[in-house]
Structure 1
């Protein structure tokens, strides 16, 4: 996977593509990611997103950085658009794990390659994955976080808040009706909407970093987070409602990951929200991880 990503980055032409900037900061997400079709059009394609401080106002990479070191992530359709990442994403090992975890009609809407660059890799603020990949009548998102390098306290490992999987989804990141239905092209394309659920305790650090996060022992741990250090090749399974984050990588060590997100499909009475930011083109469906679907796909590909 790392070798394949090097090939993809080598072939990428930032000047021709005008890459998008990426950040998990709340205001930045709404202002920048919600202002460009490049983000929305990445659902079933391979698009490149640079760190927010790596490019100028026109999206050009600063001269002090190579294109490889400027990247925050590549997404969101590696699992369908690239043979190497597709082979892993739709493998029997992934499907068997998902089935063992209780999914009956799992489908794969999204994949991401996260770089967390040495020295410059930015933090990922506290969030629930189900905010970004919303299903009804119940949330069903699950993340499969594959470590391609050792992930430690030194280079920005995951942190998660135990017990938060029992809390409701607090907000959703959706296509702004003012822009898409109302036709107001001055409005941002994407917005956060709070969900009215009195049973869900307010979490003041949604989309933020807890005070004192620079000293994890006193900052994150006081807020209930625990570090999830792991080795290259380890897979971390993340419930869609779990609060999780990662700190910036200020070390000289890489911390690359490949991440899949899946949800239950229509066979389980689950509907992908039509308001989700991520939508495949009309007529194209998310790849299925059901054993019967994978068997049919293999038979169809036989000569």
Structure 2
């Protein structure tokens, strides 16, 4: 999108990092709630109580001696994902999509042995990928298979949807599509594509890569202007439920649409980034202030999702 003057940024209502940290994260997020979102295993357990579904848990590895059970558990599986419970930014996540004799096939197409995966589990337990380098727990989940209507837009990785939720209201959303530049990961800082989504209906608005506008996916060549997310209202309600589950007033909710299971929660983020504003071509501040100005908040997740769909259209 190139350089934009501070005046123009203010006109667009852009939320900057300092204001986000002071006025929203520090003010609305209790430190006591952070462990619920900084640990993927704790997140899975707590959101299940609020009818928010996550990828099926296959195994939890807490101690080095438990790694030996992994080989027999994975023997009959064609696909699964290994994740550090306290990892961040996608670090330490290994996605297996198939088998080739005794080897496992990663999402990138490369082959790894069972011994390689066991060493990876050992590194996770040692804290190689945890937020503070402290000992961690490894979780093994069922492989998410994206619905074909979204999978065709992404390069290797599963497309996911980031929804910023403020005081239980979904206020802004984007679809993240992996690219060659992002190494198959849905990480905008590494070169993934961000597609802004209309809260009102789940239709695409704008698309950016490295903060610059694009109209076609750089690898698939597909146009990004007519994307529509199925089960959109259900996803907004799921995102809204995470407010009751965690008590966090300002967070990012990452969802995927599985071909067999439908919408699933991948993870929560207590410090969501600001690139979502560039993908939407508008700032978060006006919407956040609109929620803060409400005289009467809506009690249920369904009511909050409906309010957001009625209020936050492509023009607001």
Q: Sort the TM-score into its range (normalised by shorter chain).
A: under 0.3
What is the TM-score with the length of structure 1 in the denominator?
Answer: 0.27
What is the TM-score with the length of structure 2 in the denominator?
Answer: 0.26
Structure having the larger proportion of residues in helix: 2
